[in-house]
Structure formats: structure tokens, C-alpha cells
């Protein structure tokens, strides 16, 4: 038995150094060298002040801004420390009530819009932190935003098109737009990063 203890301790020490020190250090250094912005949270700054991350959604409720996908995190929306969905199933009456309330809020904000609300504006995702909305959701809100800001609709649509991200290689992912970037552009802010 004593002959087995020394090799076991040596193997544990070696694996601890490899997986607990060398591997994390290598990944951290490579992340900082190759993906600096992403590895540091994709923080957006304007005039040197952090205004948000392109990876985590933010709460917008003013008619002159684009609204993101609803968040089911608690105790407040888009809480990165409590990423979670609502866990309400499709037949749950509570989910139906939430969706109906969100549709009503969209209708109240833009009574003239009689189009069906895009699904990503009335349902929360599994993480509750989505920073992007579909192009359909952005175009759905364009008239409300243009009217609230006294801008031509064509200008707002052009802004959406300019900030749209399309599937990688034309097949991976969905067409979408980052809500923070779009709202910063609407406000006339050019992010530092």
C-alpha cells in the first residue's frame, strides 16, 4: 500500500498544476491576446464611460428606443447574476397571461401598429439576458421609434439595416440586431469600443 501513495500524490500534484494552473493561465492569455474585447465582457463605452455590454440585454421602456427581448431574471430584468428563464410551459396559464400583457404593452406604446407582435418581443429566452432581437422585432418597432423621435421612418429602417448582423457564412445563426448598439446609434453616440 505505501508504494501506491507516492505515485498517487505525484499524479494528483501534476494534474493539479496542469489543470489548475497551466491550462487556465494559457486560456486566459490566449483570450486576452486573440479576443480582448470579448474576454473582458464586450463592454461598450461612450466618452470613456461604460454604458453596457453587447452580451447582456438592458431594460428600455421609452417609446423612442428599441425594446429588447423580455427578461425573466429576478429580482430585476437582465440580472447577469441570476440568469434563468421563467420555466413556464407552453400550456401554463401564467405564461399566456404574461404574453398577453406584453402584447398589450406593445399595443399601448404604438396603437396604430396592427401587425402581429414578433415572438421575441413577447417571450423571454432561457437565459433572460438576450442582447439581440430579430430583424422582424426591430422593424416592428421602427414606426413607434420614428414617431417618438420625429424622424423619417426610412432613416430608422436604414439604421436597423446598418446595424443588422446576418448569419455567419449565410447559414449559421439568425439575422438579428444588437439593441444596445442600435439605441446608442439612435441617441447619436458613437461607442469608443
Q: 193 falls in which pLDDT band (50, 70, 90)? A: low
Element (H, E) at 155: helix 153-163
Cis peptide before 75 (omega within 30 of 0): yes
Which range has the worst mean pLDDT, 12-21, 106-115, 119-128, 156-165? 119-128
Report the C-alpha gap between 60 and 69 in whole angstroms. 10
Cα–Cα distances (Å) from 134 to 15, 28, 159, 175, in that order, read: 45, 32, 14, 6
The share of the chain scoring above pLDDT 70, in percent, equals 96
Give pLDDT, residue 172: 82
pLDDT at 21 over 80: yes
Torsion region of 73: left, alpha or beta (phi above 0 gives left; psi -120 to 50 gives alpha): beta
Q: How many residues does the chain have?
A: 193
Q: What average pLDDT does the segment 18-25 reach?
A: 95
Report whether 127 contacts 149 (CB < 8 A): no
Cα distance between residue 2 and residue 12, in whole Å: 16
The average pLDDT across 26-44 equals: 88
Q: What is the mean pLDDT of residues 155-183?
A: 89
Confidence grade of residue 78 (pLDDT, cut at 50, 70, 90): confident
The owner of cell 453596457 is: 52
User: Which pLDDT belongs to residue 192?
Assistant: 61
Given this model, what pLDDT does residue 42 score? 83
Task: Flag whether pLDDT at 16 surpasses 90.
Answer: yes
The conformational region for residue 71 under phi > 0 = left, psi -120 to 50 = alpha, else beta, is beta
Rounded to the nearest 5 percent, the helix, strand and coil shares of the chain are 50, 10, 40
> What is the reported pTM?
0.79
Bridge partner residues of 85 (DSSP):
none
Question: What pLDDT does 139 receive?
Answer: 96
Amino acid at each position: 500500500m505505501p508504494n501506491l501513495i507516492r505515485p498517487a500524490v505525484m499524479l494528483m500534484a501534476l494534474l493539479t498544476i496542469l489543470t489548475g494552473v497551466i491550462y487556465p493561465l494559457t486560456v486566459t492569455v490566449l483570450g486576452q491576446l486573440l479576443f480582448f474585447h470579448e474576454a473582458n465582457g464586450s463592454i461598450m463605452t461612450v466618452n470613456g464611460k461604460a454604458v453596457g455590454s453587447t452580451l447582456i440585454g438592458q431594460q428600455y421602456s421609452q417609446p423612442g428606443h428599441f425594446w429588447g427581448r423580455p427578461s425573466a431574471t429576478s429580482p430585476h430584468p437582465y440580472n447577469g447574476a441570476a440568469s434563468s428563464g421563467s420555466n413556464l410551459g407552453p400550456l401554463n396559464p401564467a405564461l399566456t397571461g404574461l404574453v398577453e400583457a406584453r402584447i398589450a404593452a406593445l399595443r399601448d406604446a404604438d396603437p396604430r401598429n396592427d401587425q402581429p407582435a414578433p415572438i421575441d418581443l413577447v417571450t423571454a429566452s432561457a437565459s433572460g439576458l438576450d442582447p439581440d432581437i430579430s430583424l422582424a422585432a426591430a422593424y416592428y418597432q421602427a414606426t413607434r421609434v420614428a414617431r417618438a423621435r420625429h424622424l423619417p421612418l426610412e432613416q430608422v429602417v436604414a439604421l436597423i439595416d446598418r446595424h443588422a448582423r446576418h448569419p455567419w457564412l449565410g447559414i449559421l445563426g439568425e439575422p438579428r440586431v444588437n439593441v444596445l448598439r442600435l439605441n446608442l446609434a439612435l441617441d447619436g453616440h458613437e461607442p469608443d469600443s
